[in-house]
Amino acid sequence: MGKILIKNGRVISPTGVHDNDVLIDGETITAVGSRGYFAGVEQGCDKVIDANGKYVIPGGVDVHTHMELPFGGTFASDTFETGSQAAAWGGVTTIVDMAVQRYGENVFDGLAEWHRKAEGQCAIDYAFHQIIGGVDDQSLKAMKYLTEHEGISSFKLFMAYPGVFYSDDGQILRAMQTAAECGAMIMMHAENGIAIDVLVQQALARGESDPRFHSYTRPSPLEAEATHRAIVLSHVAGNVPLYIVHMSAGDALNEVAAARHHGRNVFAETCPQYLWLTLEETLGQPGFEGSKWVCSTPVRSRDNDPHYIGQMGHGHQGDLWKGLRMNELAVVSTDHCPFCFKDQKELGLGDFSKIPNGIGGVEHRMELIYQGVVAGELTLERWVETCCTTPARMFGMYPKKGVIAPGSDADVVVWDPNTKTKIGINDKHHMNMDHSAWEGWVIDGKVDTVLSRGSVVIENDAFHGRKGHGQYIKRGLSQYLV
């Protein structure tokens, strides 16, 4: 900490790329000036970072993680300590994790447990959404309290996982009405879980037990139908802000695009796995290998999805990249939910429906979406907008987070576009899991230096952060509404 000058870099914001220098004092950015503007104060600085030839971007904001999520008889394998460190290695300086209320539990107990897990553990700042797994009078009251007093202004509901997290349409409507009253956002896991469960039982009865059947039994029309239904319910509830999480399918995206065309407060995120991975290359691998990529919504087929022919012939992935360009998808998150292959994914040997759902990715989102810039899918500005700025605005953390501007937290990443990153368990890999969904990928660019509130967390390929540096952020209401 102290006074830091970042000079000679190219600062990227959603509105442009500028040759600017950045001055930091303590935990805060104090000034941004054209190149050389701070030469007079350089001597008095405690640290000078020469970012010549590099990009200077706001710290990444990953608004969808699941540290230690209880799922399928086990727990996501990253703690807040290991997961927040891995995030920092990936240029992320803020995570928003999903606190859990399961059916039958009290919301406040669930939230208290999440604070216990996270407090004093994080290397970077963190906030919470609240999963509401049981909509009733008590949890509805809690939603209001959390929004008004606890800095939790977004609530995730599930149209899937009957008997675990599932809410029926009536419960969803009631939760949406409550959110509309207090200005909160509803985040929706949009898959028709009732129909999916029938398809799963039918597949298992036919002896179809391999991991790839996880995707076949969750066809994209069931994501699109649930997305449509959530949009209709949010309309009936008074245009309550609705944010569809982990969107994987072009037909679901069409529903969001249509609602947005009508000026509705409907938003969506996608994740790197849906933009880059296909069923054929992942879940479809022989034997049980494919379990590494079991997540919900599922990784989808490249070109032979029997239910879907992509617009322009590009399949789901082409649609999702286009959606990111068009702001039909406003955010890229990870849905980071890691499980080890050994003993965790293996719980589903012989029955794909028992494989814990989730992919670990908090470390690689900034890298993988930058790869979209290199591939010509997105601009540099849009990379920063979808991974840093809009997530902060969407969930009430702007301009503290998500932007390089005077007064903002000094969460800054220096990004080296001139080198490559090799991802893999014996290469770049800091998440607490025994495999990588991106094993062997060599991609352009590299996280060079990471500052969290003015403290160096990553530099010279080493972790310099500290457990407990990360602070809990009380969020405000969404700043992204139409």
**DSSP secondary structure code for residue 42 in this structure:** G
Nearer to ligand DUC, 121 or 296 (CB): 296
Strand (E) or helix (H) holding 157 = strand 154-158
User: Per rule CB under 6 A, is residue 334 in the interface with ligand DUC?
Assistant: no
How many residues in the shown chain lie near Zn ion by CB under 5 A?
2
Q: Tell me, what amino acid is at 335?
A: D
Binding ligand DUC (rule: CB under 6 A), the pick from 296, 371, 389, 449 is 296
Rounded least distance, CB 9 to ligand DUC, Å: 36
Nearer to ligand DUC, 76 or 366 (CB): 76
Rounded least distance, CB 479 to ligand DUC, Å: 25
- Cα torsion through 376, 380, 382, 386, rounded to 10: 110
Of 64-72, 214-222, 360-368, 420-428, which segment contacts ligand DUC by CB under 6 A? Answer: 64-72
User: Per rule CB under 6 A, is residue 358 in the interface with ligand DUC?
Assistant: yes
| CA 482 – CA 474 distance, rounded (Å) | 23
User: Nearest CA to 150 among 137, 159, 141?
Assistant: 141
Of 136-144, 183-191, 309-317, 382-390, which segment contacts Zn ion by CB under 5 A? Answer: 183-191
Token pair in block for residue 231: 């949009």
Q: Could you give the 3-state DSSP secondary structure of residue 446?
A: strand
User: Per rule CB under 6 A, is residue 357 in the interface with ligand DUC?
Assistant: yes
Question: From the CB of residue 243, how many other CB atoms can be counted at a distance below 10 Å?
Answer: 27
Nearer to Zn ion, 10 or 189 (CB): 189
User: Per rule CB under 6 A, is residue 66 in the interface with ligand DUC?
Assistant: yes
| CA 160 – CA 27 distance, rounded (Å) | 41
Nearest residue to ligand DUC, using CB?
295
| CA 58 – CA 213 distance, rounded (Å) | 40
Decide which of ligand DUC, Zn ion, none touches 331; Cβ closer than 5 to 8 Å per partner kind.
none
User: Per rule CB under 5 A, is residue 223 in the interface with Zn ion?
Assistant: no
Of 65-73, 341-349, 372-380, 384-392, which segment contacts ligand DUC by CB under 6 A? Answer: 65-73
Q: Tell me, what amino acid is at 263?
A: G
Mask for 72-111, x = binds ligand DUC (CB under 6 A): ----------------------------------------
Q: Compute the chain's Rg from CA coordinates.
A: 21
Binding Zn ion (rule: CB under 5 A), the pick from 54, 189, 316, 400 is 189
Nearer to ligand DUC, 71 or 398 (CB): 71
User: Per rule CB under 5 A, is residue 335 in the interface with Zn ion?
Assistant: yes
CB 402 within 8 A of CB 129: no
| CA 111 – CA 114 distance, rounded (Å) | 5
Rounded least distance, CB 97 to Zn ion, Å: 10
Question: From the CB of residue 150, how many other CB atoms can be counted at a distance below 10 Å?
Answer: 18
Nearer to Zn ion, 5 or 159 (CB): 159
User: Per rule CB under 6 A, is residue 295 in the interface with ligand DUC?
Assistant: yes
Angle ∠(174,176,182) on CA atoms, nearest 5: 110
Nearest residue to Zn ion, using CB?
189
Which residues, other chains included, contact 247 with Cβ-Cβ below 8 Å and sequence gap of 6+?
190, 223, 227, 253, 256, 268, 269, 270, 274, 297, 320, 323, 329
Nearer to ligand DUC, 189 or 393 (CB): 189
Q: Is the dihedral of CA 320, 325, 330, 331 positive or negative?
A: positive
Decide which of Zn ion, ligand DUC, none touches 295; Cβ closer than 5 to 8 Å per partner kind.
ligand DUC
Q: Which stretches of the chain bind Zn ion, using CB under 5 A?
A: 189, 335
Q: Which stretches of the chain bind ligand DUC, using CB under 6 A?
A: 66, 69, 71, 189, 295-296, 335, 337, 357-358
